[in-house]
Amino acid sequence: MVVASVLMPLVAAACGDDSESVGTLPALITTTTSTTIVVTTTTTLSFYTVQANDTLSKIATKFGVDQAALMALNGITDPDHVELGEVLQIPPPTTVAAETTTSTTTG
């Protein structure tokens, strides 16, 4: 009985009134950033016929490919020499699209 009379006030004090604790904590802010990389797996072979005033650099830029990759695919050793009417195989574009989103939640 003595133990119960000693523990009872402690238990009652631990169960205090919740009305005093309302609004004492700061707002919780959560920021989430996610990045999604979009990669296409379909490869379509493209061909291009060299026109007047074309350069390998202009062709690579036009198709969004690396000039060195264009040269390697077509066995070209001199980047300053392409023949009028020559048909070049175009490699897949070298760029990868990325999408980034950020969201903030306050609670």
- Domain residue ranges of the chain, discontinuous segments joined by +: 32-106
Q: Flag whether pLDDT at 88 surpasses 80.
A: yes
User: For the domain 32-106, what is the CATH code?
Assistant: 3.10.350.10
Q: What's the DSSP call for residue 34? A: E
What span, in angstroms and rounded, lies between the C-alpha atoms of 9 and 105?
41
Q: Can you tell me the mean pLDDT for 36-57? A: 83
User: What mean pLDDT comes out for the span 50-55?
Assistant: 95
pTM value is 0.49
Q: Which residues contact 99 (CB under 8 A, 6 or more apart)?
A: 35, 36, 38
Q: Which residues of 50-60 are buried (b: 16+ CB within 10 A; e: fewer)?
A: beeebebeebb
Block residue for tokens 């048909």: 87
Q: What is the pLDDT of residue 60?
A: 94
Best-predicted range by mean pLDDT (6-10, 74-78, 89-93) = 74-78
Contacts of 84 (CB under 8 A, 6+ apart): 50, 51, 52, 54
Name which residue leads in pLDDT, 85 or 11: 85
Q: What pLDDT, on the 0 to 100 scale, is given for residue 57?
A: 95
DSSP 46-103: EEEEPPTT--HHHHHHHHT--HHHHHHHHT---TT---TT-EEEEPPP---EEEEEEE
Please give the mean pLDDT across all residues of the chain.
77
Residue 96 pLDDT exceeds 70: no
Residue 106 has pLDDT above 80, yes or no: no
pLDDT confidence of residue 54:
96
